Amino acid sequence: MEITDTFALRWYGLAYLAGFIVGYFGLKWLARKGLWVVQPEKVADFVAYAAIFGVFLGGRLGYVLLYMIPENGVGYVWDHPLVILQVWKGGMSSHGGIVGLTIFTYFY
């Protein structure tokens, strides 16, 4: 759905948002029951950091490593490092996000 000429809501963005909201309430419930190691008052911090460092960073790095480099070569990414941050010129990989989230959770 186009909001302005430069901003639009996409289904995958809404799916990420829904996942973070469901994850927050699910983890909060588990924490209150004592079934998770994170304290209930720290769940919001965990979800926010997991979203940034696990899902988004892992998903983008997964895309760069698994799709951008094989397609364009390492030299392209090396010569244009800011392309790593340009999510509108590519995307994120779900498997990169899963790996990133797993690594983040392990170290949290």
- 63 pLDDT higher than 90: yes
- 7 pLDDT higher than 80: no
20: burial class by Cβ within 10 Å (0-12, 13-18, 19+)? middle
More confident residue, 28 or 9: 28
Rounded to an integer, what distance in angstroms lies between the CA atom of residue 103 and that of residue 105? 5
pLDDT one-digit tens code per residue, 19-38? 999 999 999 999 999 999 99
Rounded to two decimals, what is the model's pTM?
0.79
The DSSP output letter for 3 is S
Domain regions of the chain by residue span: 11-107
pLDDT at residue 49, as a whole number: 94
Using only the alpha carbons of the chain, give its radius of gyration: 16
pLDDT at residue 1, as a whole number: 76
pLDDT at residue 29, as a whole number: 97
Rounded to an integer, what distance in angstroms lies between the CA atom of residue 107 and that of residue 90? 28
